[in-house]
Amino acid sequence: MKKLEDYVRSIPDFPKLGIIFRDVTSILQDADGLQLAIDSLLDSLKDVEYDLIVGPESRGFIFGVPVAYEAHKSFVPVRKKGKLPCTTVSAEYELEYGRAVIEMHKDAIQPGQKVVIIDDLIATGGTLEAIIGLVEQLGGQVVKICCIMELAGLNGREKLSGYNVESIITYEGK
């Protein structure tokens, strides 16, 4: 039986020399890989009490929605600035080469709700840290953060200290 990491395509020297890009789309392109990814996320949540799942576009949608569906939980999208139609809260955060702003509907999370964040990757931790800020600003409590992959060499987990974080696959490098 294959492990989830067997479905990940590694591309050397992308986007620049010395970097090994871990391609999550190769998981999605294989029915068994996709099923294993969703089942692994569900398994990581089996003992967690939570009300809803939050995920950033676009890969947080891809992995978060099927988990929410299977667990019969609601899903809250986090989008790039200007993409949501109602009143939003926003957070600006650092990217490797600049800054970005994400938003969530202001009425998406009610005070006291227990929230799981699902995304494809923990790299520098900036996106997840910004999402935590939005959830907490609305009165939600982040009870777990689940990701398909983690690039441990980028130390993103340090920004998430104090939170229950689980990665299905951990790569030691960048």
Active site residues: 59, 96
3-state DSSP helix/strand/coil percent for the chain, to nearest 5? 30, 35, 30
Starting at the edge strand that comes first in sequence, how are the strands of the sheet with 88-95 ordered? 88-95, 98-105, 74-80, 52-56, 114-122, 141-151, 165-171
Sequential DSSP letters for 91-110: EEEEETTEEEEEEEETTSS-
> Which of 169, 133, 173 has its CA nearest to residue 24?
169
